[in-house]
Structures are given as structure tokens and as C-alpha cells.
Structure 1
């Protein structure tokens, strides 16, 4: 083996400058990325959730602010009119760090502006929303976004002029209230003891003239509040009281005897639709006659709370042809089992019996808004006749219409039967006004309809 001279051996390379250069590159890249992050220039975003085109005496405002980078630093909202500056909302968020997510990325603020205390005049104004974030941009002042929203200050409530209303009305009856409103409104109608009956336009009567069909509960004993109300586009509300004399009906009682045979024939049907029913037959029956009955009432009211604005019905409502009455409206029924009173309910319709599987016809022109099984009512059809008027047909053995069908007076809806809480083949017929059961007999009376409705419509 030969040895080379030491001066000819390869000297090791010095990598220190290269390593230092690499570290500096990494440092500079990281520093650049860090500066880009903290000096980000993405502006916050403002979304006005509520409609703020008009401000009344008070206005509920809801605004959403988003900033996905450094986070929200502050929100300021000011009303400007002429040379007047009126702050209405301000919020500053505490710093939560020094890098990403320093402030919240989203904030939804809800507040009320009491316009009456700001000294603004009626007319045009401007709502200015200013939002800053936690960016170091702009000499650490952050990104700033300013959104301006034109508004109209309108603190004067609409004027209501009552034109017609019933002088006398029975509990369980219906009537018509006609009124005129001085300006466009977003909500109007008649309140009877805080129960709201929505209004509808009466174009034939002129601009700003409206009507509201009212229905009184069968058990109403006193009229405490009766007034027309209207809310304009700025949220200003007006009320105009009117008087009516209430006539209370005498109670009519009825007795229903429940047999073991009836329970044996009816309960399997309810168990099919309500599998949660448990217990002895009588216990199940009482659950159906109470709990399920209330659920069914609520469903009917829900269906009948929204009505077509146009009147579809014409003239009197037809009673089922060649039928005899078996039970009346608002009969107070006592239920007996083995000679002992077990329950009490009120019958909210008229029972009409004809031949078995008789044709059930629409009492008047309308639109089908319900057509299915409904507990104690069995197979049921509900028609909307417009302007708050509804008719209900139940215990049907067969349904021949579907939801949204438009039907003429006399159109076949189905056939009678004994579904639901029916002891025999018959039709249970009800009338409702905005979800309130009223006496169907009145709607079969052409003279009553003329005096209470048609003379004014």
C-alpha cells in the first residue's frame, strides 16, 4: 500500500455558509408568511339580516359581521340625518392573541333602536355600519369596512276608520268587520279577546278598504277586547276599538252510552294509527277521547289558520241532501259506561245521517286543504272557501279528492262512513272561521248570510 503525501490529500468542504444561507432563506420565508398573515388585507363582511328600510318609534335590528382572517375588533352603528349624528350601537371585542383568530370570526348582533329618543325628523336618513378587524394593516389600525343603508324615519301610526261591524253577535257565531286604513300595512285584522282574525282587501270598496271575518268560540261569556289593529311598514301599530253586544247561548246536553261492543269495534282502528295506546279498553278510550281529541283540534286549527285572500264561496252553504240531524253544534255530551259518567266533551259540529255510503258533497266552492285520516274525526276533508271561512267533513268511508284540488259547490268529496269516533255511518259537518268552530246551521241560512255578509261584500 502506498501512501500519498499529506499535501495531496482532499481537504473537507466548509458547508457552514451554505447552511447559514439555507436557514436565512427559511427564516425569510417564514417571516414573509407571518407578515402576510398579520398584515392581511381582507375586509370584514357586513350582512343586514333584518329589513331596515323603515324605522318606526322603535326598530329591532339584526346584523351579521364576518371576518375569517384576523377576527372582528369593533362594530359601530350610527344614524345620520342632516347634520345630526346619533350612535345606536357599539361593541369592542377584546384581543385574544397576536396571531390568527385574534378576534371572533363571526358576530350576530341584535338590538333595538328607539327612534323617538334620538330626535330625528320624519323622512330620509342613513344607517352607517363601521367594522374593523385585528389586522396589522393600516399601521395596526386594521382593515375597515363602512356600509351605508338608506332608511326612512316613519313614526306616525296608520289611521283606521271603522266602517261596519256587527251590533249583536252570538257565541259560536260569525260576522264581518269592514275598515279603512290610511296607508299600506304589513299586518291588519280584528282581535276578539286577543284572538287574531286576519283581514283581507275589499278591492270593490276602494283603496285601503279591508274586511275581516270573525268567529266567536261557542263558550265565550264576555267580550273584553274588540278592536281593529294595523301595523305599517315601519312597525307602527294602531288600534281602533268597536263595540258588540254578545248573546250567550243556553247549554244543550246530550248523553252518550259507551258499550263494550263499541270499544271492541273502535279501539283496533285507533291502535293502528296511535300504537302508543296502552292499558285497558276503557283507559284507551279515555285517552282517545281526551288527549288525541286535543291533538286533532290543534291540527284542525293549524290547517285553518291561513286562508285564501279571495272569496270563493257564493250564496248559502248546502246541507247534505236527504239527511236527518242526529246531533247539534255545541252539544255538551256526557259519556257513560256501565251507568257511570266517565267523561264530558263538547260536540263542535252537526251530525247528519242519510243512507249508508251516501255521497258527501262540497257545501260551497273551495279548495281542499286537508284530506286524510285524523283521529276522532276519521277520514276527513277540509275546504278553504277564502277569507277565513272553512268547512270540515269527517267520518268518511272514502275520500275522493286531494290537497289543492279546486272544487265547485256540489262536487263529490267522498262517501259517508263510520271512521274515527263514530258509532254509525254518518257525516260530521263543521264550519270554522280562522280556526274557530262556529255554528254550521247559520251558514245553511240564505237570509242570515245576506244580513251578516253578502249585504256588505
Structure 2
């Protein structure tokens, strides 16, 4: 009788199945996240300037979790331990601060290396996990940058502007800027030649006090600062108390709220007003500040502007920094600051340019209506709002006597007029200063020119 000799022995078959199952299990086990083979990542530059005072920030990350960190400093002869930690609770990302021992003095002439070792919680390598070592060259530098004031405006008025020129030097200079007491940072632009800087600064009309200081930092973390000695001139601005009426609330207020508020249908008339006067105003101001905060030049050697006269025979109908308090039934319900000068002449009047500039902003901007922004250099911008029409486009170059736009009543305007503003690095300032030829000459042009002569004389 014929027999099928190709039949597989059941024991062998079972053995093969078990072997495959075990192999699959081992493979699955070894390829599980617990056995990942990727070492931690250490984020720090290969070369660091260190003043031995500021802690060195080191970022460490791992797919499964960081288990241990060791940091030491090698001077070529000795290994100085700085940090040695084991983490009971692993973290996939952490940042450590490496501090230099206070009782140790280093020789600046030696070359130092920072050794960083990190291990993870992986069960790979017989449960020892993955490790990584990184060596960083350390350059010791505890010498602060030098700051020297060259020239500055004599005074700054609340709501106004001023200029400063100075030098800052350090072999490893990193940042140079102007810092104010109210948190604003003004960019310092390189001026005339390397090592010299100039900046316009601004004192907001709604800030009672103003202080500004020059700040220079180097790559090692050393910081120098120098107060700018201005004469501070206080100024009182108008406070207006405005009673809200039903006609006022149901007119343009309702129109603007219907265009911009998502829950318009559930709003009361007062809710609509508060939305327009507070929420929408704040958002529009943020947009305005965003496009007027930048200084576009990498270096300047001079700067001067002609006085601004945007509206021929225009009369002022609302002042800059008018603090408006709104009342309903004798109760104050809202407030706002009017950060521009309102000028009016006739309907759809031509708005004329007084200087050379470039259009950087042209769009509907809520309460500002059709809003045009022009950059004039050195962080100075002109803002033209409530326009009815403009033939310009973003990127267009403009020159004196060009027509920028026509006046109108777009946005939160109740009659045809121009809202004219001057902004210095994102801060609204008194347009009246920039409409005064003597103020421009005394506080900006002459200061920059005299500083330039000092700098060039020192070449």
C-alpha cells in the first residue's frame, strides 16, 4: 500500500509552532518601548561663554524617560563635579541649571571642558539603559560690556519721544537694547559705524512715570546697564466724560458689533458697546502695534523728517491721549484712550504725504476703519485711519505731496475726519511733536547730527 512519506511529525510541528511563538514573543518584547535603543538628547552648544555666575541651561530629552544626569568640569588636570542626580520619576523632557561652585576659583588662562552624561530608563543593555556623553568647550568671561553715552535729547515729555546715541563694546557682545520701566524694549539700531547705536524711545501717555536704560549683554551672560538722563516733563491730558444715549448705542456701535462679534444676537446694547470699545479696540490696537513695532534698517547714518501736515486747512476736532470715560444712567460702564489726533476739513478731503516712506499696512481694521500705515525709517510710522478710499497698495513708495487717501467715516467714526497718529516702535506718541519743525530739529535731527560728528571725529 502507498504511504505519504511527506507527512510532518506532529511533535516537530508543535515544536516549530512553539519556537515561532517564542521568537515572536522575544522579538515583540525586545522591540517594545521598554527596550528602545535611542540614547537621550542633550541640547547645548558645543562652545559656551560662561561668566561663572549665570547658571548654564541644559535641555535633555529621551523617548522613554531620563533616569540620570552627571555634569563635571575638566580643567585638564582635575575633574570637578557639578551635578550628579538620579530621578525616581522619569521625565521625557527636562531642563537643568548648572551652577559653578561658589568657593572655587578658576584660572582664566586654562581651557575648560564641561562633561555631560545622561542615561535613560530603557531596559536595553541588560537593563543598564542607553547613555550619551557630550563635551562642551567652556570659555570663561566675567568682564562686562562697556557702555558710553554719546548724545541724547535733553528732555522727554509724557506721551512724547526722545532719542539716544551710545556705544557698546565687548569682544563677545551679544545684545544691545533700551529697556524701560514699563516693560517695553526698544531696538537700538547700529549708527554710523560698528560699535555705535541709536534709538528713539517713547513715554506712553497712560504711564505716569518713565525711565529708560541702555542694556548690553555678552555671550557669557554678563550684563551692563546705564540710565539715560532725560529731563522728565509731565503733561496733563484731557479727560472726557461721555453720556451714552440709545441712539448712540443702536447706530454705528451696533453695525460694528454685528460685523465682528460672534454672539451679536444675544448681546444687549451695552454689551455691544463694551465689545466695540474694549474687546474690538484692544484687538485692533494689537494689530496696529504688530505692524508698527519693527525697525527695518540694519544701520543708519542720519535721520530727519519734515513736519507732518496731512490735511490742508484741517482743524483739530479731538486731541491725542484723551481719556474717555463712558457713562450710562450716571454709572461709568467703559473707558478708552484716544491715541491719535483727529483732523477735519471737508468730506473726502485728500490726505497728503509730507515725507518719504513706504506703505506697510492698508486694510480695514475694525474701529479704525480703512487704516493706512506708512513707515518713515528709524522705527517711526504714520497711521491714517477712517479713510474712505486709497489708491495705494502695501509696498508702494510715497513722497512729499503724494495723495495717501481720502478722509471718511469708516470704522468707529461719527463724522468725516482723519485720525492721524505717529507710532515709535509700536508706541503711540504725540503727533503734535512731529508736526513741529523746531521740536524735530532740537530733539531728533540736531542730536543725531552732533553725535555723528563725534563718532566720525573719533575714526
3-state DSSP of counterpart to 1:127 = strand
The correspondence for 1:307, drawn from 281, 295, 301, is 295
Greater gyration radius: 1
The answer on whether the counterparts of 2:50 and 2:142 sit within 8 Å (CA) in structure 1 is yes
Q: Which residue of structure 2 aligns with residue 97 of structure 1?
A: none
Q: Which residue of structure 1 aligns with residue 308 of structure 2?
A: 318
List runs of 5+ in structure 1 lacking aligned partners. 95-102
Moved more, 264-273 or 336-345: 336-345
The answer on whether the counterparts of 1:304 and 1:388 sit within 8 Å (CA) in structure 2 is yes
| Equivalent-residue separation in structure 2 for 1:345 and 1:14 (angstroms) | 91
Alignment of 1:256-275 (within 5 A): 261-270=247-256, 271-275=258-262
Alignment of 1:208-219 (within 5 A): 208-219=195-206
The answer on whether the counterparts of 1:397 and 1:414 sit within 8 Å (CA) in structure 2 is yes
Q: Kindly state the Cα deviation for residue 356 of structure 1 after the two structures are TM-superposed.
A: 1.8
Alignment of 1:238-317 (within 5 A): 238-252=224-238, 261-270=247-256, 271-277=258-264, 279-281=267-269, 283-309=271-297, 314-317=304-307
The answer on whether the counterparts of 1:50 and 1:61 sit within 8 Å (CA) in structure 2 is no
| Equivalent-residue separation in structure 2 for 1:275 and 1:23 (angstroms) | 65
3-state DSSP of counterpart to 1:150 = strand
Q: Kindly state the Cα deviation for residue 227 of structure 1 after the two structures are TM-superposed.
A: 1.9
Q: Kindly state the Cα deviation for residue 385 of structure 1 after the two structures are TM-superposed.
A: 2.8
The answer on whether the counterparts of 1:44 and 1:72 sit within 8 Å (CA) in structure 2 is no
Matched, 1:232 2:227: no
Q: Which residue of structure 2 aligns with residue 98 of structure 1?
A: none
| Equivalent-residue separation in structure 1 for 2:206 and 2:145 (angstroms) | 34
Q: Kindly state the Cα deviation for residue 415 of structure 1 after the two structures are TM-superposed.
A: 1.9
| TM-score, structure 2 normalization | 0.79
Matched, 1:352 2:343: yes
Moved more, 335-344 or 174-183: 335-344
Cα RMSD over matched residues? 3.9
| Equivalent-residue separation in structure 1 for 2:48 and 2:99 (angstroms) | 15
Query: Aligned residues, how many?
Result: 434
| TM-score, structure 1 normalization | 0.79
Q: Kindly state the Cα deviation for residue 418 of structure 1 after the two structures are TM-superposed.
A: 0.3
Taking a change above 3 Å as real, the CA distance of residues 116 and 301 of structure 1, as seen in their structure-2 partners, is farther
Q: Which residue of structure 2 aligns with residue 373 of structure 1?
A: 364
Taking a change above 3 Å as real, the CA distance of residues 65 and 173 of structure 1, as seen in their structure-2 partners, is closer
Q: Which residue of structure 1 aligns with residue 115 of structure 2?
A: 128
Matched, 1:179 2:166: yes
Q: Kindly state the Cα deviation for residue 445 of structure 1 after the two structures are TM-superposed.
A: 2.0
Taking a change above 3 Å as real, the CA distance of residues 376 and 273 of structure 1, as seen in their structure-2 partners, is same
Taking a change above 3 Å as real, the CA distance of residues 254 and 22 of structure 1, as seen in their structure-2 partners, is closer
Deviations 1:370-414 (A, max 9, x none): 322223222212233333322211111124444444444444332
The answer on whether the counterparts of 2:385 and 2:419 sit within 8 Å (CA) in structure 1 is yes
Deviations 1:41-87 (A, max 9, x none): 9451424167863233213423234357xx75533233323324233
Taking a change above 3 Å as real, the CA distance of residues 30 and 456 of structure 1, as seen in their structure-2 partners, is same
Matched, 1:160 2:155: no
| Equivalent-residue separation in structure 2 for 1:48 and 1:236 (angstroms) | 22
Taking a change above 3 Å as real, the CA distance of residues 146 and 60 of structure 1, as seen in their structure-2 partners, is closer
Taking a change above 3 Å as real, the CA distance of residues 33 and 267 of structure 1, as seen in their structure-2 partners, is closer
Taking a change above 3 Å as real, the CA distance of residues 415 and 275 of structure 1, as seen in their structure-2 partners, is farther
The answer on whether the counterparts of 1:130 and 1:147 sit within 8 Å (CA) in structure 2 is yes
3-state DSSP of counterpart to 1:398 = coil
Q: Kindly state the Cα deviation for residue 428 of structure 1 after the two structures are TM-superposed.
A: 0.5
